Amino acid sequence: MTDEKNSYLFPADRLKDFSTQVFMHFGIFEADARQAADVLAKSDLRGIDSHGVARLHTYVDMLELGRINPKPNIKIVREKASVATVDGDNGLGLIVGPKANEIAMDKAETYGSGWVGVCNSNHFGIAGYYPLKALERDLIGWAMTNSTKLVAPLWGAERMLGTNPMAIAFPGYKEPPIVIDMATSAVAFGKIEIALRKKTEIPRGWIIDREGRDTTHPQDMITGGAQLPLGFEREMGGHKGYCLASMVDILCCVLSGANWGPFAPPFFVNQEMPARSVGKGIGHFFGAMQIDGFIDKDEFKKQIDDWIHVFRKTKPAPGTNGPLIPGDPEREAEVLRSQAGIPLIKPVVDDLLNISRKTGIPLDVESLNP
């Protein structure tokens, strides 16, 4: 989360309108632009600053260079009752993802479940966005994506996998939903970036240096190091994090015909293109399950409420207030930020002003206090 004291507070809608207009400036249809802006806005609202408007400039860079197709013809290329593969036609992941997720949800309502692999896409924002959409239709939603290589497999000394997140959400009855959204690496890359900015050490187990050695210096990541998978070493289950990242990679890419493993195309324009292409673009995997196909929907939701109550009453570990329920921090951020606005640090505001100058789309910053 952003250091809110040194931040500009933007009303969420103002940022969303700005993103929408920026996307439209690059030839994206209005409905698609609104959709893409909605994914970014949800990320900012939920406190996942790294995946919100802070990334708008990266999408803009790609659109400017013609590396992303602003008017993709997103289509199903293969299908059977409850499953399908979607080709995203090199569109923004923020547009391709929601369309493919909708196909999975429609299938779930017809066949009890729907599973959609996606190839030829680009980064799709926060994985958690997609199961949140499923909740609106009272479905259990799943989402995964691969991403540019950053993570070494256990016992490897080079980047071979993305931080490959997975998300899933379950609706409650009176309680808010349980929302899981997690990278399969030990930590998010953003935490290493923060240490770099603050010039602090990081814990052993987050990264290795370019020779594959343990290190606590975040700058080793910049000079050819790699992140470690969840569990980080054999003794602590590092093979499990590697297994999860592999599972996400195979479901998202091998199953859909996208670029798997180290061949995922880069997200940033200044990153090197992989030596080989083994498929099309990056890949996602969406799932939706209709609760009523398994159990009475209200019974399920009431049991989820009970689950939440029981887990909230867990005896707390010393020095803590006890376990959270998955999704608690993001929901609390959303409540707060819907009211107070989205805090953006100066470098992010500067990026947005730069986009504003470039596109001629106004962004009123004057009225805000840093």
Q: How far is CA 27 from the centre of its chain?
A: 24
171 binds a copy of itself (CB under 8 A): no
Residue from 306, 332, 350, 364 in contact with a copy of itself (CB under 8 A): 306
Site for a copy of itself in 25-64 (CB under 8 A): none
Q: Which of 4, 30, 79, 136 binds a copy of itself (CB under 8 A)?
A: 79
Q: Taking CB under 8 A as the rule, does residue 158 contact a copy of itself?
A: yes
Answer yes or no whether residue 182 interacts with a copy of itself by CB under 8 A: yes
**Count of residues engaged in binding a copy of itself, rule: CB under 8 A:** 90
Task: Based on the shown chain and the rule CB under 8 A, indicate whether residue 178 belongs to the binding site for a copy of itself.
Answer: yes
Q: Which residues of 171-200 are buried (b: 16+ CB within 10 A; e: fewer)?
A: bbeebbbbbebbbbbbbbbebbeebeeeee
Between the alpha carbon of residue 97 and those of residues 72, 94, 119, 241, 367, the distances in Å are 12, 6, 10, 24, 35
In the complex, least distance from residue 57 CB atom to a copy of itself, rounded to whole angstroms: 29
CB of 199 to a copy of itself, least distance (A): 18
Asked whether position 289 contacts a copy of itself by CB under 8 A, the answer is yes
- Cα distances (angstroms) measured from residue 202 to each of 153, 192, 235, 279: 20, 7, 20, 36
105 binds a copy of itself (CB under 8 A): no
Residue 355: Cβ-neighbour burial (10 angstroms; 0-12, 13-18, 19+): buried
Of 255 and 348, the one with the shorter C-beta distance to a copy of itself is 255
In whole angstroms, give the CA distance from residue 117 to residue 110.
18
Stretch that binds a copy of itself, among 6-14, 17-25, 131-139, 319-327 (CB under 8 A): 319-327
Q: Which two tokens stand for residue 47?
A: 């406190």
Exposure on the CB side of residue 112, measured as CA atoms within 13 A: 4
- What 3-state class would DSSP assign to 226? strand
Among residues 324 and 340, whose Cβ is nearest to a copy of itself? 324
Please tell me the distance from the alpha carbon of residue 226 to that of residue 245, in angstroms, as a whole number: 14
Asked if residue 370 binds a copy of itself (CB under 8 A), the reply is: no
**Residue 130 sits in the site that holds a copy of itself (CB under 8 A):** no
Nearer to a copy of itself, 45 or 230 (CB): 230
The residues in 253-282 that bind a copy of itself, with binding defined as CB under 8 A, are: 254-257, 260-262, 278-279
The answer to whether residue 333 forms part of the interface with a copy of itself (CB under 8 A) is no
Q: Which of 13, 30, 298, 299 binds a copy of itself (CB under 8 A)?
A: 299
Alpha-carbon distance of 108 to 103, in angstroms, equals 9
Among positions 174, 199, 315, 366, the unique one binding a copy of itself when judged by CB under 8 A: 315
Cα atoms in the Cβ-side hemisphere of radius 13 Å centred on 217: 9
Query: What minimum distance in Å lies between the beta carbon of 114 and a copy of itself?
Result: 8
By CB under 8 A, the residues from 187 to 246 that bind a copy of itself are 187, 203, 205, 208, 211-213, 230-232, 235-237, 239-244, 246
Compute the least distance from the CB of residue 34 to a copy of itself, in Å: 30
First-last CA distance in the chain: 16
CB of 25 to a copy of itself, least distance (A): 36
Q: Which residue has the tokens 């399969």?
A: 184
